[in-house]
């Protein structure tokens, strides 16, 4: 007990187990009791799993499962041992039944001879009495009554008491029983199903005779527990800064505020750093990191470094093998790689590409190619789709275009794509979104903290490759477009500035306006500061 307590304390000190606030030994003469006080956010069952895996709370011992299979020593798992045992019992039942069948057939042969003798009792007695010796009597019986040597010998060996009427009835009953037994054994040997039935009945008989209360409990082995069984599933906010620092924080860390609030410090940043990506996902999901150079890398969310609200996180180059000049351009979270989903990609020069999601199911540590890029082009957005969605592209200078995903034919993983949006001089695509339905709103956020939302239905569908329509009036006061997304009233919006200030507001606090309006103030921005990134939080979160 004391060793267990010391080991737990050591794991806590070394931060191999986190979430324990206090450890006490409350054992007394009534029994052993070790109490662990957990921090508020810790799931008790997750802590139990961690203790099972890392302490002597559960111990194991090895068993060599060595068996002879067809005369050859083999190491088997439990299922294989059971299969071999059933095969063995099958052979035992077959051999035993064949033996019993032979014994019954041999006995039936003798009984048939005895019945012949009893049916011809006087003649049999006279034949025996008139013979000079046993061999002669045996030979005469065989010849006269068409008996075999075995049957004749059985008649000669028969005691006189078997000649009574009662004994005669017993012989007839034995004859009947032997015929039924032989019929049953032949039927058994001709059916595997009946043989397995015998095995089952015999095992149940053993259980009924010898079974008692189980003294041990059968549970899942900790060695069979997936690492995710030790990690609580919860929504996290993942942030990546311009300088390449990444971290995750439980979504519950951030409370809602009213529109126009000042926000709270989301993380501590250097003066020249700001958040570029803000994403919400479950700890059990895959995170696909698409770089500006057209490659994709993969990690699980729980593999990302967890930080506090104000910590800057960990350098992403320590997690992903980025080249010089490579950075995260888009993030896709997915629980699995479905065969019915696609990825839509967009570049800053207006190219789009559609590829099956399953083509990106790769665990290669050095990543795989996601798209081929033209000289000077970069990947800027990646979204999941179902093959029948609407694609919306927004440029930095406030243009927007909506077209059907069906305008983009399916392409291979390394294809370059087709033209999605025609851009004016000095303009570039800021973001691309996929709309499942057109009953949502297109949310536009400017650099100086102004936002607007307009029903997506006001953006008429066009052919792919057009210049689009004006979505926001760009002024010096409002600044250029900093972000765009599709949302509904029940969503929340998280906005973060270049100084690391973060605010979370309900989407319905931003009133709907026309397509080319300027929007309203949603966040107070200090001088020299501007909006760096934002995230949309679904009601399920």
Residue 346 lies in a domain: yes
Residue 221 lies in a domain: no
Identify whether residues 27 and 121 lie together within a single domain: no
Count up the domains in the chain and report the number. Answer: 3
**Element holding 46 (H helix, E strand):** helix 44-54
Strands, E, within 251-378: which ranges?
Answer: 264-265, 275-282, 286-291, 295-300, 314-315, 328-334, 342-347, 351-356, 368-369
Instruction: Tell me the CATH number at 274.
Output: 2.120.10.90
- Does this model's pTM top 0.75? My answer is no
Instruction: Tell me the CATH number at 193.
Output: 1.10.268.10
Please answer whether residues 420 and 351 qualify as being in contact, where contact means their C-beta atoms are separated by less than 8 angstroms. Answer: yes
Instruction: Determine the structural domain holding residue 21 and report its residue range.
Output: 2-54
Identify whether residues 258 and 357 lie together within a single domain: yes
Sign of the Cα torsion 357, 358, 363, 368 reads negative
531-537 and 245-250: which strand pairing?
Answer: unpaired
Strands, E, within 7-161: which ranges?
Answer: 20-25, 34-38, 66-69, 72-75
Can you tell me which residue has the tokens 């397509």?
A: 515
Identify whether residues 202 and 240 lie together within a single domain: no
pLDDT of residue 272: 46
Please answer whether residues 326 and 295 qualify as being in contact, where contact means their C-beta atoms are separated by less than 8 angstroms. Answer: yes
Residue 312 lies in a domain: yes
Residue 323 lies in a domain: yes
Q: State how far the Cα of 393 lies from the Cα of 415, in Å rounded to an integer.
A: 20
Write out the two tokens for 502: 């973060």
Identify whether residues 100 and 193 lie together within a single domain: yes
Identify whether residues 463 and 504 lie together within a single domain: yes
Identify whether residues 377 and 519 lie together within a single domain: yes
Identify whether residues 44 and 153 lie together within a single domain: no
Contacts of 133 (CB under 8 A, 6+ apart): none
pLDDT tens-digit profile, the chain (541 residues)? 788 888 999 988 888 888 888 999 888 888 888 999 988 767 677 788 788 888 888 777 778 888 888 888 999 988 999 999 999 999 999 999 999 999 999 999 999 999 998 889 889 999 999 999 999 999 999 999 999 999 999 999 888 777 676 788 889 999 999 999 999 999 999 999 999 999 999 999 999 999 888 877 776 655 555 666 667 788 888 888 767 888 888 887 765 555 555 555 555 555 445 566 777 888 888 999 999 999 999 998 888 888 877 777 888 888 888 888 898 888 898 988 988 899 999 999 999 999 999 999 988 888 999 999 999 999 999 999 988 899 999 999 999 999 999 999 889 999 999 999 999 888 999 999 998 877 789 999 999 999 999 999 889 999 999 999 998 888 888 888 998 988 888 888 888 888 878 888 888 888 888 887 778 888 888 888 888 888 787 665 4
Identify whether residues 206 and 304 lie together within a single domain: no
Please answer whether residues 494 and 254 qualify as being in contact, where contact means their C-beta atoms are separated by less than 8 angstroms. Answer: yes
Could you count the other beta carbons within 10 Å of the beta carbon of residue 321? 12
Strands, E, within 44-179: which ranges?
Answer: 66-69, 72-75
Burial readout 498-511 (b: 16 or more C-beta within 10 A, e: otherwise):
bbbbbbbbbbebbe
Residue 356 lies in a domain: yes
């Amino acid at each position: 007990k004391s060793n267990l307590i010391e080991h737990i304390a050591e794991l806590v000190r070394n931060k191999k187990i986190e979430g324990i606030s206090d450890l006490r030994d409350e054992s007394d003469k009534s029994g052993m009791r070790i109490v662990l006080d957990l921090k508020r956010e810790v799931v008790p069952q997750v802590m139990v799993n961690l203790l099972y895996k890392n302490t002597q709370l559960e111990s194991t011992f090895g068993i060599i499962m060595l068996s002879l299979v067809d005369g050859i020593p083999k190491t088997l798992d439990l299922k294989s041992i059971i299969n071999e045992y059933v095969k063995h019992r099958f052979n035992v039942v077959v051999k035993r039944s064949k033996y019993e069948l032979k014994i019954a057939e041999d006995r039936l042969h003798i009984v048939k001879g005895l019945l012949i003798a009893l049916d011809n009792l006087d003649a049999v007695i006279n034949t025996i009495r008139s013979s000079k010796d046993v061999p002669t009597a045996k030979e005469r019986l065989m010849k006269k009554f068409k008996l075999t040597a075995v049957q004749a010998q059985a008649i000669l060996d028969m005691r006189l008491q078997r000649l009574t009427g009662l004994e005669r009835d017993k012989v007839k009953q034995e004859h009947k029983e032997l015929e039924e037994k032989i019929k049953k054994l032949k039927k058994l040997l001709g059916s595997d199903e009946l043989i397995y039935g015998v095995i089952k009945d015999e095992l149940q008989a053993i259980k009924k005779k010898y079974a008692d209360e189980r003294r041990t409990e059968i549970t899942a082995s900790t060695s069979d527990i997936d690492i995710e069984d030790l990690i609580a599933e919860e929504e996290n906010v993942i942030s990546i800064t311009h300088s390449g620092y990444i971290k995750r924080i439980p979504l519950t860390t951030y409370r809602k505020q009213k529109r126009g609030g000042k926000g709270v410090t989301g993380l501590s940043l250097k003066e020249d750093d700001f958040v570029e990506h803000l994403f919400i996902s479950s700890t059990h999901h895959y995170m696909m990191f698409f770089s500006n150079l057209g490659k994709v890398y993969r990690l699980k969310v729980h593999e990302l470094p967890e930080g506090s609200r104000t910590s800057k996180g960990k350098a992403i180059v320590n997690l992903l093998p980025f080249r010089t000049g490579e950075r995260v351009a888009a993030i896709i979270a997915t629980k699995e790689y479905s065969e019915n989903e696609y990825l839509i990609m967009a570049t800053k020069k207006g190219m789009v590409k559609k590829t099956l999601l399953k083509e990106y199911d790769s665990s290669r540590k050095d990543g795989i190619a996601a798209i081929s890029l033209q000289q000077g082009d970069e990947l800027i957005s990646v979204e999941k789709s179902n093959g029948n969605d609407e694609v919306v592209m927004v440029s930095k200078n406030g243009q927007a275009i909506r077209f059907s995903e069906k305008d983009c034919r399916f392409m291979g993983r390394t294809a370059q794509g087709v033209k999605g949006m025609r851009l004016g001089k000095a303009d570039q695509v800021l973001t691309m979104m996929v709309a499942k339905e057109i009953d949502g709103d297109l949310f536009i956020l400017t650099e100086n903290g102004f936002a607007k939302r307009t029903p997506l239905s006001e953006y008429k569908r066009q052919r792919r490759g057009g210049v689009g329509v004006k979505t926001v009036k760009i002024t010096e006061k409002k600044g250029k477009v900093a972000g765009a997304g599709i949302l509904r009233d029940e969503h929340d919006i998280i906005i973060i500035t270049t100084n690391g200030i973060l605010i979370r507001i309900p989407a319905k606090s931003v009133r709907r306006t026309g397509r080319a309006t300027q929007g309203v103030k949603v966040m107070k921005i200090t001088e020299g500061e501007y909006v760096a990134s934002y995230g949309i939080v679904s009601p399920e979160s």
